[in-house]
Amino acid sequence: MKFAVMSDFHLGYAYNTERREDSFIQAEEALQKAAELNVDAILIAGDIFDSRIPSQDVLAKALEILKPIAEKIPIIAIHGTHERRGKGLINSVQLLEKAGLLKHLHCDKIVLDFNDQKLAIHGMSGVPDDYAHLVLEKWVPEVVPGAVNVLMLHQSIEPFLYTGANSSSLKLTDLPQSFDLLVGGHMHWNEEKKYGDGTFIIPGSTVLTQMRKIEMEKPKGFYIYENNSLQFIPLSTPRKFYYKQLSFENAKPHEVIDKIKSQLSEISIEIKKPIVRFILTGTLEKGFSTDDLQLSLLDKQFQGKFILRIDKTKLGNQEILERREIIERLRQKQLSVDELGLEILKKHLEELNYKDFSSIESLLTSLAEGDVESVRKLVSN
């Protein structure tokens, strides 16, 4: 018995851009390669579509890709976070099931027979991270004796995808240990790790959407499972992806642009334009902001050679960066509103050469209450 495991096609991703065909081309390659390898079944771990309600054009392309495969090979799928809809509403993966193209699972299982061998596929479709523990505990999937048992999920799973200090997402150790294979969708790079009585794998996405550094280092593809062994099958159609982080200190805008141009000059030109993501960090010279970079001119100069994605959110003058850091800390719930106010007030007082920081809380309270006289006394001391 042999089966393929893949995930995260994100059909329809970047549909209104020059990358509109990428998701379809790469999903089709994965499905066709699996068929050519004579698999008995194909498992898809969620996010077949990029949108909760795909357009008719995207649905038509999906049907065109899936139908020839579904006529020969059973496809079993769960829906992901991009496809999840409200209670009682049909999602796009259920629609594919109604069209006879696949079997959709959510807190359920299906057992397939292949030449006296059984394959038991258990699926938990994507749910909000806050409810993942509860849903898994309520469902309690149990292995089928005498079968190869596979558990598919589409969730954030630590340590592979960490969602913050107060995260309530699943940890790998929360998953049952009695399955031959556990499959995690949602994460977009491939991983393989022994766990319990079997192996935990992340097939990764077939198309580049998140543009993380790890996706430059690991190829897009899918897994083949046969005789208790795994083989990763890379795809040949994805664009090349480059992730570059550039750091600056008190730089002039033209110095930033020149550095980006220098990096681009080192990348080979391809028939299918490579995707290049720049992460700009550090500081600009006083008096300049990221608005002075004129990145649109850079896009025009290289539009025939590369698809550029430039992140400048971590680049700016020191004051702006410090304020962004304070706000980010608040967002991560590391600061209360009062603590945020103290941080901002302290920063402004430092610029005014204010020395008596022991009275800063009193000063903030007086400002909040509109006690002008107390403010004057504290500032003048």
Containing 337, the helix (H) or strand (E) segment is: helix 337-351
DSSP lists the bridge partners of residue 183 as 152, 201
CATH (domain of 58): 3.60.21.10
The Cα 358–Cα 379 span in angstroms is 12
Which of 217, 234, 251 is the last residue before a domain boundary? 234
Burial class of 351 by CB neighbour count within 10 A (0 to 12, 13 to 18, 19+): exposed
- Verify that 163 and 38 share a domain, yes or no: yes
Tens digit of pLDDT at every position of the chain (381 positions): 999 999 999 999 999 999 999 999 999 999 999 999 999 999 999 999 999 999 999 999 999 999 999 999 999 999 999 999 888 899 999 999 999 999 999 999 999 999 889 999 999 999 998 899 999 999 999 999 999 999 999 999 998 875 555 556 799 999 999 999 999 999 999 999 999 999 999 999 999 999 999 999 999 999 999 999 999 999 999 999 999 999 999 999 999 999 999 999 999 999 999 999 999 999 999 889 899 998 988 989 998 999 999 999 899 766 665 555 655 555 554 445 555 566 666 666 666 666 665 566 566 666 655 666 776 776 666
Among the listed residues 142, 149, 147, the one whose alpha carbon sits nearest the alpha carbon of residue 114: 147
> Rounded to 5 degrees, what are φ and ψ at 23?
-60, -35
From residue 330, alpha-carbon distances to 324, 334, 342, 345, 361 in Å are 10, 6, 12, 15, 18
Per-residue exposure over 314-333, b if at least 16 CB sit within 10 Å of its own CB, e if not: ebbbeeebeeeebeeeeeee
- Verify that 218 and 343 share a domain, yes or no: no
- Verify that 85 and 145 share a domain, yes or no: yes
Structure pTM?
A: 0.82
Q: Which amino acid type is present at position 4? A: A
Burial class of 40 by CB neighbour count within 10 A (0 to 12, 13 to 18, 19+): middle
Instruction: Give yes or no for a contact between 108 and 136, defined as CB atoms under 8 angstroms apart.
Output: no
Residue 324 belongs to a domain: no
Burial class of 240 by CB neighbour count within 10 A (0 to 12, 13 to 18, 19+): middle
Question: Residue 145 CB: number of other CB atoms within 10 A?
Answer: 8
Residue-range definition of the domain harbouring residue 363: 335-380
The Cα 379–Cα 210 span in angstroms is 49
- Verify that 178 and 94 share a domain, yes or no: yes
Residue 327 belongs to a domain: no
- Verify that 119 and 222 share a domain, yes or no: yes
Residue position matching structure tokens 């543009």: 211
- Verify that 305 and 194 share a domain, yes or no: no
Residue 328 belongs to a domain: no
The Cα 306–Cα 165 span in angstroms is 37
Tokens of 161: 């995808």
Q: What is the number of domains present in the chain?
A: 3
Tokens of 64: 């065109």
Q: Which amino acid type is present at position 250? A: N
Residue 329 belongs to a domain: no
Containing 315, the helix (H) or strand (E) segment is: strand 307-316
- Please spell the DSSP secondary structure of 108-120, one letter per residue: EEEEEEETTEEEE
